[in-house]
């Protein structure tokens, strides 16, 4: 899928220069073409191509979250033929199916979606553009929010679920697709052998997924550098809800693509007999943070490469600078194919008068307060000790008081009832930690203190996790946004048609910061669909700065919580 580019057939340097210019012009002509938009009914039967689109049509794609597609079509009662699609979409009762699907194709990317269930079709009359029908679609990532995680996908949910919680441990890029495939099998297919790898196509007997709406692309369990994770879930949680924080930590990306008749095989050996509209899902690593990638640099010395390695505790990430190591640039030697290799990003937008970018916005934050306080409840044993001391003192006091020859008796319970609201959670109830390094970086003038909103017992793992979570929320941040004209000089596109796409790393400079290059992953792409307009891209750190101790506690807490629900802890 590299476009209509003929291989080089010349003999001289001049021939090569002409060939390269033809390639560039071919790509520019393709970039200049507007997005192709087709509408389908609920059975994925094509109903037409939306050619005439009004201002207000646009598409926003988000990394690992549901994007949106809005298409505004003119509608005219006197020209039903010319505005057929608008009439077809509006007259729901006349359609054989109520759902409407969309496919948007632009520069190698294919984005699918389904009309929003609440406001998918809206009729608006009057205004500058006359009467129009506004179609609102949710991008295909939304489909994964409607697949829930059964504790045991191979047992009837309505009859029995043992164990009570689905519990999977392994590499993130296998655990998440495996859980999704198991639950898709529960919803769409039957008779799968639990002792086999559900992501191995050799185990897919008898056209197992032939009629499935959603199919997970197969992948082997081996050769993975993704972090180990624990995934737990019940039928009340969607797969996306559970997967989102794991994807963020592992820097994996959900990639979806609809199959249409005439497409090549989704993967070697898959065949082409799939139903039109079948949604293929896979997780890809566009980050490269565990195999080596560039996180920044400058125009003079280039982009520095670093790698995140895992320490012996299997949870802590350490970034090491790679110097002198050979770089495999084979992915950039594929004829006619564009793209960004995760381990060696290169796209850099240089801010200037003729750079193709405008509206550049760089956001940098020095971080928050330099002291954090957590807690709210006394550390374990303090309240109990206070209760015991007051009770014992009251009993001794009561036993030694005589009134008219009669002993008063034990007063411990009475004193505790009166004094406990006063002394409870007042001793050793808070953990307050100064952030010395942050204060040194910020200078003498800095915000003094912030507090965690959760109420936890002081000096416990939960309190320290709360402290680290609050520290991470107030850590320094860097992000940038700009509007870019396509193909000046870099082409935005997917599947070999563009230099970069959603999720890829790209760099940018700012005229006021000299040669410094900021490299971040693209987290959001927006494109007008009315036939004109430029791309708007947002870049930022998609991976939460998670403390290693918090990560360890989190994994343990996840496991123990699952065991508790299962009834074994």
pTM: 0.77
Looking at residues 527-534, what average pLDDT do you find?
79
Residue with the larger pLDDT of the pair 318 and 160: 160
Looking at residue 98, the DSSP 8-state letter turns out to be S
| pLDDT of 378 | 92
How big is the CA angle at 328 (ends 324 and 334), to the nearest 5 degrees? 150
* pLDDT > 60? residue 221: yes
Quick check: 354 pLDDT over 90? no
The mean predicted confidence, pLDDT, of the chain is: 82
Q: Is 314 left (phi over 0), alpha (psi -120 to 50) or beta?
A: left
The closest of 537, 547, 478, 506 to 63, measured between CA atoms, is 537
Q: Is the pLDDT of residue 508 over 60?
A: yes
Q: Which helix or strand (DSSP H or E) is residue 116 part of?
A: none
In terms of pLDDT, which residue wins out, 432 or 161?
432
Per residue in 11-55, pLDDT (tens digit) is: 899 988 998 888 888 888 888 889 999 999 999 999 999 999 988
198 versus 559: which is more confidently predicted? 198
Residue 551 — very low, low, confident or very high, per pLDDT cuts 50/70/90?
Answer: low
pLDDT bracket for residue 553 (50, 70, 90): low
503 pLDDT more than 60: yes
287-340 per-position pLDDT tens digit: 876 666 666 666 656 666 555 543 332 322 344 444 445 556 667 777 778 888
The candidate with the shortest Cα–Cα distance to 45, out of 279, 278, 276, is 276
pLDDT of 129-158, one tens digit each? 789 999 999 999 999 999 999 988 887 887
Treating both helix axes as pointing N-terminal to C-terminal, what angle do 548-566 and 461-473 enclose, rounded to 10 degrees?
Answer: 130
User: How would residue 195 be classed by pLDDT, with cut points 50, 70 and 90?
Assistant: low
pLDDT at res. 284? 93
In a 3-state reduction of DSSP, which class is residue 372? strand
Please say whether the beta carbons of 489 and 356 come within 8 A: yes
Average pLDDT over every residue of 390-419: 80
What percent of the chain stands above pLDDT 70? 82
33-145 to CATH, choices 3.40.228, 2.40.30, 1.10.3470, 2.30.30: 2.40.30
Closest by CA position to 3, among listed 491, 531, 464, 461:
491
SS3 59: strand
d(CA 314, CA 311): 6
Residues found in the chain: 569
Do residues 437 and 426 touch, judged by C-beta distance below 8 A?
no
Q: Which residue has the higher pLDDT, 75 or 551?
A: 75
Of the two residues 404 and 109, the one the predictor is more confident about is: 109
Judged by average pLDDT, the poorest of 7-21, 123-137, 548-562 is 548-562
Q: Check residue 458 and give its pLDDT.
A: 87
- Burial of 374: CB neighbours in 10 Å, binned 0-12, 13-18, 19+: buried
Q: What are the residues facing 282 on neighbouring strands? A: 255
Instruction: Report, as an integer, the average pLDDT of 545-560.
Output: 53
Nearest of 230, 256, 255 to residue 243 by alpha carbon: 230
Domain ranges of the chain: 1-32, 33-145, 147-287+555-566, 293-366+476-540
Which pLDDT band, with edges at 50, 70 and 90, does 188 fall under? confident
pLDDT (0 to 100) of residue 396: 85
Predicted local confidence at residue 40, as pLDDT: 97
Split at pLDDT 50, 70, 90, the class of 556 is: low
Banded pLDDT at 59 (limits 50, 70, 90): very high
Packed helices 412-423 and 382-399: angle between N→C axes, nearest 10 degrees = 150
pLDDT of res. 251:
86
pLDDT of amino acid 316? 29
Each residue of 237-294: pLDDT tens digit?
Answer: 999 999 998 888 788 999 999 999 999 999 999 999 999 999 999 999 988 766 666 6
């Amino acid at each position: 899928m590299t476009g209509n580019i003929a291989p080089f057939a010349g003999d001289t340097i001049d021939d090569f220069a002409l060939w390269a210019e033809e390639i560039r012009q071919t790509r520019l002509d393709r970039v200049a073409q507007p997005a192709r938009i087709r509408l389908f009914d609920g059975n994925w039967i094509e109903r037409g191509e939306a050619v005439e689109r009004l201002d207000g049509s646009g598409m926003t794609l988000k990394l690992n979250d549901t994007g949106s597609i809005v298409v505004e079509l003119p509608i005219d009662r006197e020209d039903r033929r010319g505005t057929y699609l608008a009439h077809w979409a509006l007259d729901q009762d006349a359609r054989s199916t109520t759902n409407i699907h969309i496919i948007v194709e632009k520069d190698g990317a294919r984005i699918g979606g389904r009309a929003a269930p609440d406001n998918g079709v809206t009729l608006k009359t009057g205004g500058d553009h006359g009467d129009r029908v506004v179609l609102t679609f949710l991008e295909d990532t939304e489909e994964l929010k409607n697949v829930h995680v059964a504790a045991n996908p191979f047992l009837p949910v309505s009859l029995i679920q043992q164990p009570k919680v689905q519990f999977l441990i392994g590499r993130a890029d296998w655990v998440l697709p495996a859980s999704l495939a198991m639950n898709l099998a529960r919803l769409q297919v039957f008779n799968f052998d639990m002792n086999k790898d559900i992501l191995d196509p050799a185990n897919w007997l008898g056209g197992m997924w032939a009629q499935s709406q959603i199919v997970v692309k197969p992948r082997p369990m081996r050769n993975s550098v993704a972090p180990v994770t624990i995934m737990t879930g019940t039928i009340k949680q969607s797969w996306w809800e559970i997967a989102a924080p794991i994807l963020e930590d592992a820097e994996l990306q959900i990639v979806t693509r609809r199959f249409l008749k005439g497409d090549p095989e989704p993967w070697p050996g898959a065949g082409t007999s799939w139903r039109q509209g079948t949604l293929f899902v896979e997780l890809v690593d566009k980050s490269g943070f565990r195999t080596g990638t560039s996180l920044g640099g400058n125009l003079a010395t280039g982009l520095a490469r670093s790698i995140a390695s895992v320490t012996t505790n299997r949870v802590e990430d350490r970034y090491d600078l790679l110097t002198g190591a050979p770089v495999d640039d084979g992915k950039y030697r594929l004829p006619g194919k564009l793209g960004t290799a995760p381990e060696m990003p290169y796209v850099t937008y240089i801010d200037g008068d003729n750079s193709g970018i405008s509206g550049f916005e760089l956001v940098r934050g020095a971080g928050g307060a330099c002291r954090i306080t957590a807690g709210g409840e006394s550390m374990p044993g303090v309240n109990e000790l206070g209760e015991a001391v007051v009770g014992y003192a009251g009993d001794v006091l009561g036993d030694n008081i005589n009134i008219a020859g009669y002993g008063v008796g034990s007063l411990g319970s009475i004193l505790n009832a009166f004094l406990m609201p006063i002394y409870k959670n007042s001793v050793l109830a808070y953990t307050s930690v100064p952030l010395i390094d942050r204060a040194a970086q910020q200078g003498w003038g800095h915000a003094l203190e912030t507090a965690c909103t959760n109420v936890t017992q002081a000096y416990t793992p939960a309190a320290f996790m709360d402290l680290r979570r609050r520290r991470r929320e107030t850590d320094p941040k860097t992000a940038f946004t700009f509007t870019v004209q396509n193909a000046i000089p870099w082409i935005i596109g997917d599947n070999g048609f563009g230099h970069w796409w959603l999720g890829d790393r790209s760099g940018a400079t700012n005229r006021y910061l000299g040669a410094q290059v900021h490299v971040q992953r693209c987290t959001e792409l927006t494109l007008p669909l009315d036939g004109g307009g430029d791309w708007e891209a947002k870049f930022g750190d998609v991976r939460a700065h998670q403390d290693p101790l918090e990560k360890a506690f989190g994994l343990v807490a996840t496991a123990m919580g699952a065991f508790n629900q299962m009834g074994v802890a």
